[in-house]
Amino acid sequence: MGLVEFLGQMGRDMQAFPFDDLSHIARYQARVKVNWKAFTDAFREGYHVAMVHGGSIPDSMNSPANPQGVPVSSRLYGSHYSMSTWANPEHKPTPSEALAWKMGMTFSPGEQLEMGGVNPSGDEIWWFDMNMVFPNFYAAMGPGWVFTYHFWPRSVDETDWIMNIYQMDAKDYGELIAQEHTKVLLRDLLYEDLSTLESTQRGMASGVLTELNISNSMELSVRQQQWVVQQWVNGDGDPGQV
C-alpha cells in the first residue's frame, strides 16, 4: 500500500497545505522512559493543557467559556485521527508573544493566514489541527506552521522522540525573530509535556491500577488508539479508511 492510499481521507484533507513555503526552523529530540503508546496519549486530548501548560499558555486553549479545552471537532480515519483545537477569542498575548506578532508570526493564536489543508471541518473558532498518523507519526498544522513528532519505540518502556518545527519562510529579520518565538515557546511546552511521562510509566508499571475508564468525549483518540492497536495485534490489520 502506498502512502497516499494509507493516509486516505486524512491525506486528502491536508493536501492543499503549502508545505513548500515552509522552512525547517528547529529540531528537538529526547530519549524518554515511557511506552510509545502512552507517549502519544499525551497528544490525544486537550484537557491537560489547563494544568500542564498553565504557566506557558495560560489562556490560549482555555477560558471560563471552555475550561477543559474541549476540541472543536474530531475526525476518525480508520487507524488515523485528527482533531481541531479551540482558540480562546479572549486570549491576551504575553509581552514577548505580542512583540513576535508585531514582527511576523508565531505559534500562539493570532492573525489567521488564509490557507488550504487545515481546519477540515470548517470550524469558526479554530487554532490548529492535531493529526495522528498511525502508528508513530504526529503532525500539528496551523495557519503558517507545522510541527511533527516521530515516536520510535526502543523497548516496552522507552521511546526515542524527535520533534521538527517548520514555519513560513522568513522574508526579513523581524520574521526571523518571530520564528525564534515559535521555537522557544514550543520548546517550553514540550518540556512540560515530557515532564509527566516517566511518572505515568512508573504508575502503570506499579500494577496498582488494573482498569481505567476512558472518556468518549474527552479522550476519543485515546480510545481509538487502544482499539486500533488491538486490531493490528490480533491480526485483523488496518481497520480501513472511513
Site string for Fe ion, 175-204 (x = CB under 5 A): ------------------x-----------
Task: Please report whether residue 13 would count as binding Fe ion according to CB under 5 A.
Answer: no
Query: In the bound complex, what is the minimum distance in angstroms from residue 27's beta carbon to Fe ion?
Result: 19
Report d(CA 177, CA 88) in Å as an integer.
25
CB of 53 to Fe ion, least distance (A): 6
- Which position's Cβ is nearest Fe ion? 193
In angstroms, rounded to a whole number, what is the distance separating the alpha carbons of residues 56 and 168? 23
Cβ proximity to Fe ion, 6 vs 47, nearer residue = 47
Nearer to Fe ion, 12 or 150 (CB): 150
The whole-angstrom separation of Cα 206 and Cα 189 is: 28
CA 18 – CA 144 distance, rounded (Å): 8
Residue among 193 and 219 whose Cβ is closer to Fe ion: 193
Q: How far is the CB of 193 from Fe ion (least distance, A)?
A: 4
User: Between residues 41 and 193, which has the closer beta carbon with respect to Fe ion?
Assistant: 193
**What is the rounded CA–CA span in Å between residue 170 and residue 185?**
18
Element (H, E) at 139: strand 137-142
Q: How are strands ordered across the β-sheet holding 129-133? A: 22-32, 158-168, 145-155, 137-142, 129-133, 80-84, 73-77
Closer of 53 and 170 to Fe ion (Cβ): 53
Residues in contact with Fe ion by the rule CB under 5 A: 193
